[in-house]
Amino acid sequence: MNTILAYAARSALSLAVALACSAEARAAHDGHEPVPIAVAASQPPARVVADAPLPGPLARGAVIIPFRTENLRIVPAFGIAPSDALSPIGHLHVSLDGAPWVWAHTSNDPVIINGLPPGPHRVLIELADPAHKVIHSQTVSFEIPQTGSGR
């Protein structure tokens, strides 16, 4: 019985010490928020650089638009403040022919669109931060040939 009581007393004492130290540690940091991680002022702004659609697939009606980003990584991150990220991250908003809606593109794979009718088209590619604030954009114009229609 004494062994059980001794064990219980040691456990209670350990818990009390942990709680007391934990409270002291919290009190020492009260009012001190973590420093947000910011991009160095000397770093150029983030931007997206989109190339013209690949000509071979375009002749068959498939639009493949290679792109790259500068000073920002494309990842599937949404809703966090940019200052919460360890490095500049974001995603793309893509729209076609002035549509009021966009889709999110969250990888470094080319933007691929298929099944468009023949004729001229425009793809707006917007670089956005995780909070969906547009940082930079580029429009790519092209024409689907009559014989290359995907329909």
65-114 confidence digits (pLDDT tens):
999 999 999 999 888 765 655 678 999 999 999 999 999 999 999 999 99
Q: What is the mean predicted confidence (pLDDT) over 132-148? A: 91
Question: SS3 for 116?
Answer: coil
Q: For residues 111 and 99, give the distance between their C-alpha atoms in angstroms, rounded to a whole number.
A: 16
pLDDT at 22: 46
pTM score = 0.68
User: When comparing pLDDT for 140 and 29, which is higher?
Assistant: 140
* DSSP notation for 36-74: PP---TTSPPPEEEEPPPPHHHHHTTEEEE-EEEES-EE
